[in-house]
Amino acid sequence: MAKIIREHIHTLLEKGMRQDKRGLLEFRKDISVEYGISPKSAEGSARVRIGETEVVAGIKMAIAEPYPDQKDRGTIMVGVELSPFANNSFESGPPSTESIELARVVDRGIRESGAMDFRKLCIKEGEKVWQVFIDIYPINDAGNLRDASSLAALAALKDAKFPEYDKKTFEIDYKKLTSKNISLEDEPIEVTVIKIKDDYLVDPSVEEEEWLDARLTVAFLKDGDICAMQKGGNGMLSTEDINKMIDIAQDKVIVLRKAL
Amino acid sequence: MGELFFEERNIVVPGDKLAMGMDYLPAGGAFRDGECIRSKVLGILGINGRVLKVIPLKSQYRPRPNDMVIGKITDMTNSVWFAKIDSFRDGVLTVREVPEYIGDGDDLSQYYNFGDYVLAKVLNVNSTNAGLTMKGPGLRKLSGGRIIEVNSAKVPRVIGKAGSMISAIKEKTGCRVIVGQNGLVWIQGEPEHEFVAVEAIKLINEKGHLQGLTELVSEFIDKKMKNVSKKETEEKPKVEEKQVTQEKKSDKDDEEEQPKRRAVGRKASKKVAKRSKK
Amino acid sequence: MTTNKRTDGRNFDELRKMEAKVGVVSSANGSAMFKIGNTTAIAVVRGPKKLHPKFLQNPETGRLRCFYNMVSFSGSGDRVRPGPSRRTKEINLVMENALAPAIDLSRFPGSSVDVFVNLIQTDAGTRCAAITAAAMALADAGFEMRDLVTAVAAGLVEDQVLVDLNYDEDSHEMGVDIPIAMMPNEDKITLLQLDGRVKKEKLNEAIELARSACKKIYKVQRAALVERYE
């Protein structure tokens, strides 16, 4: 932990500035979404870039038996791999707590929002349902993997097509994709707002993330309803903080939605 | 007679056959392979008569005695600090190599704490460690300012011939700048000025291999600084404030004696000081 | 395979379309992307850093370690389960053996230099694409190398020798898969594996075909490295 960097961030913030000259509530300019980056292998895939930060996500589908308590519903599973590939300080090995948290927040945004109708993933009630795997791989971490990951997951879902399968054996032919999309009732998008001392910032750099006091990730639906939230960091937030951070996030979600 | 396959300043990659014939000689970045001279790095070909060398575009920092480096304190025992100098070798700083008197049983973190950046000199290097010292003019804990990283192959470009590039950056931006041989660079100045210095150094890191670098960087800084001073004249009170800090800075310049390879830097900062007094 | 062409219309000695780019991951010292047909590999170099645990260290030189990873949506069938499989571990080893002869890490004793390769999509030839990308990333990071390393799979389908197999050819029941890596200027082989049944004469024919294919891939690698700095 380098104090010099924290002090520098603080000194600049007092003057309303950031280390890369951006405004406090300014996203990096170059935000892009590219669909179908793994068309041969995945049922859906996408690449998201926010500045130099890059994340790829892909969809794989399988047919499985439903959970006993949800006989007419398919399932989703979200995974994120934070490996040294994208950032030297990430550890190799089994998923870190941080990567699980990241995955679970993305998962909740999609699952709890009603953005996906899980009944539409049912093939035969009580017997066969679709399982949708959403896997997210950061390629380059230049800050704000959270927002980039959630956007990549959504974009990959939008890109996905059901594969053909044998109606009797339920065996999937991954080589043949149908024209049928996974129907999305809505499009949940996350925006993370961080708090450093008394200031709120969006789209944090790696250094800002290291020195944040608290962060709040908010997932929004198209109509502005909130569908998932996660407070992070060791600091504390007042109700006023939370309201302000939600307002900022809602204002910024437009920037990301435009890129889709 | 031998045959040359590339021209001066061509970009060559590892394995490339540079020349054929025993009358050519390999220097840094090149090696002899039977009749051939080949490149062993991605770099720019330099031809000096019959001597072929390849100047690498990037490299890994390897500490050498007398290098001035910027290290980050990562660990300590009761007699030794460990500093990361961005190499696989630990930088090791013993209590004997710091100017402060350290009593028996003192908590070392009162002097140099975890996460502190220090300007130190490499004393000796073995296969696992690099011994460091803090005894010497200008060597100290760095406070304030910011740290950026450049590739160690670009360090000579950031410093420039006889310190010309670094002097120009300091003079034009009014910032204090220290370049560690390990590629860490410390910069301190008024925010707007600091931004210009940072961008200029990043530009050298990206384009340092191009010819006419000095002019490129010079023009870049002049253009950026023009915008900065325009902003500053629009907000007059700030200008005065800045002058005060710059004068303060000039007092500090003596203690901030730059290490040998960057000795020119001092003169440059004085010039800035004079200008700001006018 | 009764016609003169392959299922995807290529000639027997023809490579799939290639694309290479160096410096694709800004947070790494060295990085490169290599795409051949529908196989895409991205390689990133981390280190040198002190190798832990200590007994793995070699006091005389640095250690090259490779981490091959098919991302879970990159397979041509079911989802690939994350985490290292026996196959992955073997590939890591043969990649290290393929690259080690080219790179000189003697200046970094006791350290490790780690190459991470993510396969974003796959259509056979993944270890070869991974090696080709890794060699570019190592050169981009500024390591001293005698040569680049270039890899391609040669093979046989129904006794016909061909190069750069796609998934259909690779999984053909009478198919033989021979991944080969070469140092193009040294003209030496650093990876050789074989999977299938083959006569000795045919093997030599396949190696020759791989050799000339590697020369073509090498041109793409070299151009990408030069382009990064022009």
Ranges of each domain in chain B: 3-56, 68-142, 146-277
The total number of residues shown for chain B amounts to: 278
Q: What is the pLDDT of residue B274?
A: 41
In this structure, what CATH number is given to the domain that contains residue A137?
3.30.230.70
CA-to-CA distance for C165 and C129, rounded, in angstroms? 12
CA-to-CA distance for C115 and C48, rounded, in angstroms? 10
Q: Which residues of B touch A2 (CB under 8 A)?
A: 72, 115-117, 147
Question: DSSP assignment, residue C21?
Answer: E
Of A60, A95, A141, the CB nearest to C73: A60
Q: Cβ-count burial of C201 within 10 angstroms (0-12 exposed, 13-18 middle, 19+ buried)?
A: exposed
Element (H, E) at C140: helix C126-140
Beta-carbon count within 10 A of C3 CB: 7
What subunits touch chain A, counting only 3 or more CB pairs under 8 A?
B, C
CA-to-CA distance for C68 and C130, rounded, in angstroms? 7
Min CA distance, A111 vs chain C (Å)? 20
What subunits touch chain B, counting only 3 or more CB pairs under 8 A?
A, C
Q: What is the pLDDT of residue B86?
A: 76
Q: Closest Cα partner for C70 from C61, C58, C78? A: C78
The residue of chain C with its CA nearest to that of B153 is C142
- DSSP H helices, chain A, are 3-14, 97-111, 145-159, 206-210, 239-259
For domain B146-277, say whether CATH 1.10.150.80 is its number: no
Beta-carbon count within 10 A of B243 CB: 14
- Evaluate the CA torsion angle B136, B137, B139, B140 in order and state its sign: positive
For chain B, list residues whose CB is within 8 angstroms of any CB belonging to chain A.
72, 113-117, 142-147, 191, 195
Q: Which residues pair with A214 in a beta bridge?
A: A195
Q: Half-sphere exposure of residue A234, counting CA atoms within 13 Å on the CB side?
A: 2
Instruction: Report the residue of A30, A40, A174 to disrupt the C interface, i.e. the one with the largest count of C CBs within 10 Å.
Output: A40
Place of tokens 């031998």: B2
C91: in domain: yes
A56 has a pLDDT exceeding 70: yes
pLDDT interval class at B236 (50, 70, 90):
low
A2: in domain: no
ipTM of the complex: 0.93
CA-to-CA distance for C163 and A153, rounded, in angstroms? 36
CA-to-CA distance for C185 and C187, rounded, in angstroms? 5
The residue of chain C with its CA nearest to that of A140 is C25
- Supply the mean pLDDT for chain A: 95
B273 has a pLDDT exceeding 50: no
Q: What is the pLDDT of residue C3?
A: 60
Q: How far is CA C223 from the centre of its chain?
A: 17
Determine, for residues B41 and C183 on separate chains, whether the beta-carbon distance falls below 8 Å. no
Element (H, E) at C206: helix C200-227
Find the Cα–Cα–Cα–Cα dihedral B14, C59, C181, B30, rounded to 10°.
20
CA-to-CA distance for C69 and C126, rounded, in angstroms? 10
Element (H, E) at B31: strand B30-33
Of B116, B146, B195, the CB nearest to A8: B146
Mark which residues 126-145 of B lie under 8 Å from C by CB.
127-128
A24 has a pLDDT exceeding 80: yes
Residue pairs spanning A and B at CB distance below 8 A: 33
A3: in domain: no
CA-to-CA distance for B79 and B95, rounded, in angstroms? 6
Place of tokens 């996905």: A160
SS3 A103: helix
Q: Taking a C-beta distance cutoff of 8 angstroms, is the pair A154, A187 a contact?
A: yes
Number of domains in chain A: 1
Q: What is the pLDDT of residue A1?
A: 62
First to last CA, chain C: 44
A1: in domain: no
In this structure, what CATH number is given to the domain that contains residue C160?
3.30.230.70
Q: What is the largest CA-CA distance in chain A?
A: 67
Of A15, A19, A21, the CB nearest to B146: A19
**Same-fold call for B3-56 versus B68-142:** yes
The residue of chain B with its CA nearest to that of A6 is B146
What tokens were used for B177?
Answer: 């700048």
Residue pairs spanning A and C at CB distance below 8 A: 96
pLDDT interval class at B128 (50, 70, 90):
confident
CA-to-CA distance for B247 and B277, rounded, in angstroms? 7
Which pTM does this prediction carry? 0.92
Residue A108: which residues within 8 A CB-CB, separation 6 or more?
Answer: A219, A227, A228
Q: Taking a C-beta distance cutoff of 8 angstroms, is the pair C24, C45 a contact?
A: no
What tokens were used for A32?
Answer: 């892009």
Find the Cα–Cα–Cα–Cα dihedral B54, B55, B60, B65, rounded to 10°.
110
pLDDT interval class at B88 (50, 70, 90):
confident
CA-to-CA distance for B211 and B157, rounded, in angstroms? 11
Q: What is the pLDDT of residue C230?
A: 85
Q: Which residues pair with C160 in a beta bridge?
A: C157
A190: in domain: yes
Q: Which domain holds residue A239?
A: 8-259
Q: Which domain holds residue C141?
A: 18-227
Of B42, B87, B90, the CB nearest to C142: B42
Q: Closest Cα partner for C126 from C94, C162, C86, C158? A: C94
Q: Which CATH architecture has domain B68-142?
A: Beta Barrel (2.40)
CA-to-CA distance for A224 and B77, rounded, in angstroms? 54
Q: Express each pLDDT in A125-177 by its tens digit.
A: 999 999 999 999 999 999 999 999 999 999 999 999 999 999 999 999 999 99
Distances (CA, A) of C27 to B227, C47, C109, C206: 30, 12, 24, 39
Q: Taking a C-beta distance cutoff of 8 angstroms, is the pair A138, A87 a contact?
A: yes
Determine, for residues A4 and B191 on separate chains, whether the beta-carbon distance falls below 8 Å. no
CA-to-CA distance for C117 and C43, rounded, in angstroms? 4
A124: in domain: yes
Work out the average pLDDT over A182-205: 96
Topology annotation, domain B3-56: OB fold (Dihydrolipoamide Acetyltransferase, E2P) (2.40.50)
Beta-carbon count within 10 A of A171 CB: 10
Of C42, C122, C123, the CB nearest to A139: C42
Q: What is the pLDDT of residue B241?
A: 43
Strand intervals (E) in chain C? 18-22, 30-36, 39-50, 63-70, 103-104, 111-121, 144-145, 150-157, 160-163, 175-183, 188-192
- DSSP H helices, B74-212, are 155-159, 164-173, 191-207
DSSP string, C60-107: TS-EEEEEEEE-TT-SSSSPPPSS--HHHHHHHHHHHHHHGGGEE-TT
SS3 B4: strand
Q: Express each pLDDT in B53-70 by its tens digit.
A: 999 999 999 999 999 999
Q: Taking a C-beta distance cutoff of 8 angstroms, is the pair A211, A11 a contact?
A: no
The residue of chain B with its CA nearest to that of C222 is B13
Q: What is the pLDDT of residue B266?
A: 39
Q: Which residues of C touch B127 (CB under 8 A)?
A: 59, 109-110
Question: DSSP assignment, residue A113?
Answer: T
C9: in domain: no
Q: What is the pLDDT of residue C52?
A: 84
Digit-by-digit pLDDT tens for chain C (230 residues) are: 456 789 899 999 999 999 999 999 999 999 999 999 999 999 999 989 988 888 888 889 999 999 999 999 999 889 999 888 999 999 999 999 999 999 999 999 999 999 999 999 999 999 999 999 999 999 999 999 999 999 999 999 988 999 999 998 988 888 899 999 999 999 999 999 999 999 999 999 999 999 999 999 999 999 999 999 98
